[in-house]
A and B are shown apart, each in its own frame.
Chain A
Amino acid sequence: MTIETDISTPAIEVFNLTKTFGKGDKKVEAVKDVSLAIKKGEIFGFLGPNGAGKTTSLRMIVGLLQPNSGEVKICGMNPSNRKHKSKIKRKLGIIPQEISLYEELTVEENLWFMAHCYRMSKQEAKPRIDGLIAKVGLEDKRKALVKNLSGGLKRRANLIMGLVHDPEIVLCDEPTPGLDPQSRVVVWEFIKNLPSEGKTVLLTTHFMEEADRLSNRVAIIDNGEILVLDTPKKLKASIGEGDLVELVLSVKEDIHLQKIAESLKKMNDGKTTIEDVFQSGTSLIVRSKDVISKLSRILNYIEEMGVEVENMSIRNTTLEDVFIHLTGRALRN
């Protein structure tokens, strides 16, 4: 009991979690020795490309998948302990990657079904369901059959299905793929407001913007390993100061791009200092302080090498850049 009331206890603790699939030559280590602690009331982002091990980690955290080794604690309780299972289930709410709705039921019926699944009384469930429907703007569609809703509206309904029982911890597994911008904003706002209701959120995503906007802390995961874990601001700062210029050049081959990058790194005419240059796909990204004032000199330098600049954009450092910096690949790749 003291465990549950202790606010200093992390919402989720993961110790040396490992998961392998397959045997022999086909053995794949999906999650390698992952350890982390998610504080109560924070939004914790799990950022990584598809197949990085995010969903596998999440499935192990909620107890759907048995790890090969390691331990998970939810609010200090071990899911393996039979006595804790019901309590843990009440604390967890999941927003799965796929739209998991009963197509032949209305939005409201889906929510009522979930309320029954969590043994909620009518008095308890009614205001909760009404509130959730209003939060995601589905008042007009509450009586509509799910099969008749658009993809965006289904995604909104999917979002609130796992929250009917008012869980303390919400696990969002890739909540926004394929969404129209309007629905995406609704979903983001919804998730962002969850900590204000005292909820802890574990968000897995491969959208760096999503992780950046929503998360208090982000763990970047690749090939089953956590590469870095910190606040988005610190992660971005970790790769250096300055803004970025993304250049699309007339040459696309890696060998040429690398040569140009090396050359740009050495560019120092007394006025222009380049902090870093790295390749992102067929583009080059140049990072430098006060990049706008240096832009004409950078462009001239490239043209002097006989290469044309086809397109160019200036932006702030993103988590994508952190990922590229760490892995040499873009998240989308």
Chain B
Amino acid sequence: MLGMPAFMAFMFFFAFSSTGLGEAQTYTIGVINNDKGINSDLSDYLKVARSSGFDIGINDSTLDNGFAADFIEILNTTNYPAEDNEENVKIFHALLIENDSMGRKKVESREIDGLITFGDTYSNATLSAINQAYKVENGSFIDDPPFYTGPAFPKDYNGSIDIIGDENYANYLISKAILTSFISSFLEQIQSFNYQGGNLNFNIQSLSVEEYSLFDIMMPGILVFAVITQAGMIGAFLVNEFSENKTIIRIKLSLIHPFEYILGVTLLMFIVTLFQVIILLGFSMIFLGFKPIGDMLQGIIIILLTTFFAAALGFFIASFFKSSDAAGQSSGFLMTPIAFMSGAFMEVPVITIFPAAFPTPSGLMRDFGLWDFVPTTHTVNALRSVLLYNFELSDVLADLIWLVVPSIILLLLGIILYTKQRLMGDII
């Protein structure tokens, strides 16, 4: 068990390095451009100065339309790194939006993945920063006499870029991460100069757009609880076969291999789980107002993968209990704590074992806690991410690996134990 994190890290390395985070997707970013552009006197001066050989690397269109327009152009034309034999895919599609309230509505309705707002002094603030940089490099400001004779260019402009989006929305989290890295590197360049004048601010605001009810948040946990409760049911069934129906004696003496029998039982469990989940999801959506926005099929796949864990528990129960009643009741005192530890019913405090060691669906790292050793913790996490926050299976790959790999190991141990205890004669 101590070697498990290293093993998992190895698995993650191969999984992520080979598959990436999924297919390239173009994110739609709403843009509110309040930028009033560069001070016209200075803009005119720079155009004229360039013809006289003084060029600071700002083209005419930027001087006419401002730095925000330039930024928007870059957003619209930047592609993902081209793969062999693949067409270029744009990272962003910038959609101009008139005002803030409309932008926020589009964020809420998820018509756009995020919203960028450029402040009205963005261009002047940016030029102030460039001016400062120029001074550091050349000993004078761009607008210093004797070349410039117009009105003094203010050096204390404050400009801003605001990013707004729904933290519960995977597309926003991904586009925010790309934009943040893009803007941060730009700001770092500017801030590397000893700029004493104005300031260029970069703000991120998060909206809690999707108002999920407590029931919505709990629903993935309820699904998990329903599945693992089946362990008691399957345990009772197996015990019944062994000690009450006694049909197991016929199986033992027949030509059937113990693994065929076990496979049949596990398959049965998968089918029962599938129907159970479809009924539970359907009922909760129609009658209880559960409104997942993610892909239901992917959610069902996650639940079906949890069946491995439930089957493992079922075989352990069947190996130790001798009456079907006791096996059935075991689901109460065994499954409920497991469900609690998994965070199925409520958030459980994280007991950190490895800080910042586990990848979240949005690509960040979170602490790996004690409860992460319980496979169903990852079912709950993955289900919430997929059903409520619209992540893809590839985004929750780490959770899926931590769900499936320990479950399969437990299942194999359970099968071996059950086979030895119940399914094989001493000799034959």
Contacts and interface: CB of A to CB of B under 8 A. Distances in A.
B59 interface: no
Nearest to B261: A117
Nearest to A81: B427
A3 B255 CA distance: 21
A118 B255 CA distance: 5
Contact of B428 (A79, A114, A117): A79
B428 A94 contact: no
B104 to A, nearest CB: 58
A117 B251 CA distance: 7
A117 B255 contact: yes
Tell me what chain A mostly uses at the interface: helix, strand, loop, or mixed. Answer: loop
B249 interface: yes
A117 B245 contact: no
B428 A62 contact: yes
B425 A102 contact: no
Contact of B254 (A64, A98, A103, A114): A114
A213 to B, nearest CB: 26
Tell me what chain B mostly uses at the interface: helix, strand, loop, or mixed. Answer: loop
A323 B427 CA distance: 33
Interface string A36-80: 000000000000000000000000001111100000000000011
Contact of A66 (B245, B246, B254, B427): B427
A88 B428 CA distance: 9
B149 to A, nearest CB: 99
B254 A102 contact: no
B108 to A, nearest CB: 52
A90 interface: yes
Given A63-B425, A63-B428, A92 B253 contact: yes
A64 B252 contact: yes
B233 to A, nearest CB: 14
Contacts of A116: 256
B426 interface: yes
Given A89-B255, A100-B245, A117-B256, A64 B250 contact: no
Contacts of B425: 62-65
A118 B254 contact: yes
A86 interface: yes
B109 interface: no
Interface in B403-426: 425-426
Nearest to A171: B253
Contact of B427 (A80, A86, A119): A80
B426 A63 contact: yes
